[in-house]
A = this chain, B = another copy of it.
């Protein structure tokens, strides 16, 4: 984990996700979108074929997985390796850049998974308090 200092410091970079028109916002949406984050996380452990990925990311449709992979590939986060065999074999793997993103996504995901009991308790508390009003 980065230090608080690193997290707080303005970076003086040309990109600022808080600005509506900043291209970083689009990429952030690709990696944090409904399927983007899960897809990249699934690929963290190694390359996977299209249908392996589909089974791993429970609930994703062919269409959405295809769309998600295209966006990630275009952003240079995922590499597509198609073998011209029959039947075809296509492997997807993270690029070095993609691994950097995936590490941070996994850190977030594991943190959330590990705190779900607290989250669910907060929800019960919230609903209860509201329902009583």
Asked if A7 is at the interface of the complex by the 8 Å CB criterion, the answer is yes
What is the CA–CA distance of A2 and B114 in the complex, to the nearest angstrom?
14
Asked if A38 is at the interface of the complex by the 8 Å CB criterion, the answer is yes
Asked if A110 is at the interface of the complex by the 8 Å CB criterion, the answer is yes
Chain A interface category by residue count: 35 or more
Main SS at interface, chain A: helix
What is the CA–CA distance of A125 and B119 in the complex, to the nearest angstrom?
43
B107 engages A8 (CB within 8 Å): no
B1 engages A74 (CB within 8 Å): no
Q: Which chain B residue shows the least CB distance to A115? A: B97
Q: Shortest Cβ distance from A55 into chain B, in angstroms?
A: 10
B115 engages A100 (CB within 8 Å): yes
Asked if A24 is at the interface of the complex by the 8 Å CB criterion, the answer is yes
Residues in chain A within 8 A of chain B (CB atoms): 1-2, 4, 6-8, 11, 13-20, 23-24, 27-29, 31-34, 37-38, 41-42, 44-45, 56-59, 73-77, 97, 100-101, 103-116, 118-123, 125-127
